[in-house]
Amino acid sequence: MAATYEPIASVTLGSTSTSVTFSSIPATYTDLVVACSVRFGSASGSRIRFNSDTATNYSSTYLLGQASAASSGRFSSVTSIRNNHIWGDATVASQFTPYGVSIQSYSSTSVYKTALWTYGTGGGLQGSNSETGKIVGLWRSTAAITTIEFAPFNATSYQIGSTFSLYGIKAA
Amino acid sequence: MSFLLNPFVFAGALGSFESIATVTVGGGGAANIEFTSIPGTYQHLQVRVISKSVNSAGDSGDLTFNGDTANNYAYHSLYGTGASAAAEAGTTRANIPSLRLVTSSSTSVFGAHVIDILDYASTSKNKTVRTFSGDDRNGSGAVLLNSGLWFATPAAVTSIKFTGRSFNIAEHSTAALYGIKA
């Protein structure tokens, strides 16, 4: 059987950046996975947009663990899928937040696109503040995804050393 | 590079993740999605699913192994409803509730699921399953983490079946089975 889970593109920031975009994503896979390790210049999280759509076509539901508390909430009819609800992303030098984003059936023209996003800062980030989260996000479009943009949710930038890697998985 | 820290990002070293089979539900829906004759040549399995129900109130997709429908399963679930976080568990039951089958009323919305079955070919371990799944319907939906146990036997898993509990699984629902080598 043929191996799959192939790297499509990868970015390691050599200078700060206010966004990272994967464009011209081929439709030849079944699912996409993005693995990131990010740090911000100041408090922020990330937002994800597809195909440069900035309209209110996104929504998400999240499950969080923050210190000893678990919670859940949602954003409806918003302009991106986002994380960083309170503490979720790193600003401290040498502390990066890992993201894993799975986008299934990304090239289907029959279904809206659902993304599963997991992230979490390590314990001890900025004292005791840290967060782990799971998000399901929806983009209400049946268009095939050809572009994925990551950007800080607040007015800051991704710091040097942040990495973003895009993989494709092809089903038999 | 061989980790399982994140079930869908670092599923294995590149080149060790292989597609085994895919099922896509056709028009009219189907009572179940099943993979049979799964080879024992991998270390782990991963099933990547999008799913929906033909029922307007949604449904559950229940997981069984090797045709065993006796009360040999258990599960725990941690989930967020968009309003609160909660957990539940079930013991001595006939399946593992693994798929949220989205209501047919939410046009074009499908739930997404990544299911890992670790050491599936072992003949000395009961089988444990973990699932990250969710569906968002712009104002409703849930995100879930599940763990499931099949404790009847340490037999190797050779078949996997997802069955709509009360209704058919809807058209365009898709399950893709992958094998991960150590």
Which H, E and C letters describe chain A, residue by residue? CCEECEEEEEEECCCCECCEEECCCCCCCCEEEEEEEECECCCCCEEEEECCCCCCCEEEEEEEEECCEEEEEEEEEECCEECCCCCCCCCCCCCCEEEEEEEECCCCCCCCEEEEEEEECCCCCCCCCCEEEEEEEEECCCCCCCCEEEEECCCCCECCCCEEEEEEECCC
The C-alpha of A166 sits at a distance from chain B's nearest C-alpha, in angstroms, of 10
For A98, name the nearest residue in chain B, comparing CA atoms only: B6
Q: Which residues of A touch B41 (CB under 8 A)?
A: none
Task: Say yes or no for a CB contact (<8 Å) between B48 and A30.
Answer: yes
The per-residue pLDDT for B7 is: 43
What is the Cα–Cα distance from B19 to B48, expressed in whole angstroms?
Answer: 11
Following CA atoms A42, A47, A52, A57 in sequence, which dihedral angle do they give, to the nearest 10 degrees?
A: -140
The mean pLDDT of chain A is 91
pTM of the model: 0.93
For residue range B6-48, what is the model confidence (pLDDT) as tens digits? 444 444 556 799 999 999 999 999 999 999 999 999 999 999 9
The per-residue pLDDT for A91 is: 80
The per-residue pLDDT for B42 is: 96
Mean pLDDT of B123-149: 96
Confidence label for A2 from pLDDT (cuts 50, 70 and 90): confident
- What percent of chain A has pLDDT above 90? 75
The per-residue pLDDT for B4 is: 38
For A101, name the nearest residue in chain B, comparing CA atoms only: B9
Token code pair at residue B125:
């371990």
Q: Which residue has the tokens 């292989």?
A: B18
Statement: residue A102 has pLDDT above 60: yes
Statement: residue A56 has pLDDT above 50: yes
The per-residue pLDDT for A126 is: 54
ipTM entry: 0.93
Q: Which residues of B touch A77 (CB under 8 A)?
A: 138-139
